[in-house]
Amino acid sequence: MKRQVLASESFSLKNRHYFLDFKRAENNSNYIQITRSEQQTDGSYKRWEVIVFENQFAEFIQAFSSLFQSAAWYGADYKGMKEIHAEAKAAKGIKGMAPEDRPRERLMALGAAQLEDAELLAILIGSGTPNESSIVLAQRILAGQGADLAGLKGMTLEQLCRFKGMGIAKSCNVLAALELAARLSPESAPSYKPVYIYRPPGQEPGDFFEYS
């Protein structure tokens, strides 16, 4: 069995070429091969290769992720990686947004009627996850219903909880708000049977009326 290339990416910078290949070896195991090919002054090419085997993928990816995060904040006055992670987490959440763009601040300044569906839903949800804000989570829930707000009305607690980041408490908040909205809608208002009052022929004014 020959070696197979399962996926490949490449890019070039002048006389240097980089190849990132995901391959399958003859023994049917998978590995990643990173190759740098550089043209020499005599026109020939010199190659450097790094191979990472399948049982080392997790450590390799974790190391690369940590390295890139350190490089992204290089030169900043941090004590360690915990501070970098904390700032990255805050930047992804509502706190990373400008105050005037935050849902609650917009509601207080403009009124609830001026907010988009995702913003109102985000306020009900309250908080997002370490990887996304409550607005992104709300947008993901609405997208799951075809971006149709009416699709939320038929959702059950179990269906809401299936969305990553939506626990029982958050889902109950949303369902409670939907139920209150349904009870206030004209369709759910109590109906009354009309009563017609009339005076039978020959009955004098001031006598009791009959009704039906």
pTM of this structure? 0.47
Q: What's the confidence (pLDDT) of residue 1?
A: 45
Task: Identify the weakest region by mean pLDDT among 6-15, 44-53, 167-176.
Answer: 6-15
**pLDDT (tens digit, 9 = 90+) per residue, 84-108?**
566 565 555 666 677 788 888 999 9
Nearest CA-CA partner of 110 in 98, 118, 101? 101
Collapse the DSSP code of 149 into the 3-class scheme (helix H, G, I; strand E, B; otherwise coil) and give the result: helix
pLDDT of 144 strictly over 90: no
Q: Structure tokens of 60? A: 């390799």
Would you state the pLDDT for residue 107? 93
Average pLDDT score over the chain: 81
| Span 57-78, average pLDDT | 78
- Segment holding 71, helix H or strand E: helix 57-72
Say whether pLDDT at 32 is over 90: yes
| SS3 label, residue 181 | helix
Asked if residue 111 has pLDDT above 90, the reply is yes
- Give the mean pLDDT of 193-205: 60
Cα gap 58→61, rounded to integer Å: 5
Q: Are 94 and 134 in contact (CB under 8 A)?
A: yes
Question: pLDDT above 90 covers what percent of the chain?
Answer: 30
Q: Is 85 exposed, middle or buried (0-12, 13-18, 19+ CB in 10 A)?
A: middle
* Most confident listed range (1-10, 108-117, 149-158): 108-117
- Residue 4 has a CB neighbour count (10 Å cut-off) of 12
Out of 37-41, 67-71, 88-92, 167-171, pick the least confident: 88-92
Q: Does domain 4-71 have CATH number 3.10.450.700?
A: yes
Q: Where are the domains of the chain?
A: 4-71, 94-188
Question: With 0-12 CB in 10 A as exposed, 13-18 as middle and 19+ as buried, what is 57?
Answer: middle
Main-chain dihedrals φ then ψ at residue 17, nearest 5 degrees: -130, 135
What is the per-residue pLDDT for 33?
94
How far, rounded to the nearest angstrom, does the alpha carbon of residue 20 sit from its chain's CA centroid?
30
What per-residue confidence (pLDDT) applies to 174?
92
The phi, psi pair for 197, rounded to 5°, reads: -100, 135
Considering only residues 159 and 72, tell me which one the structure prediction assigns the higher pLDDT. 159
pLDDT of residue 195: 57
**Which pLDDT tens digit goes with each residue over 148-166?**
778 888 889 999 998 888 9
- Judge whether residue 189 has pLDDT over 80: no
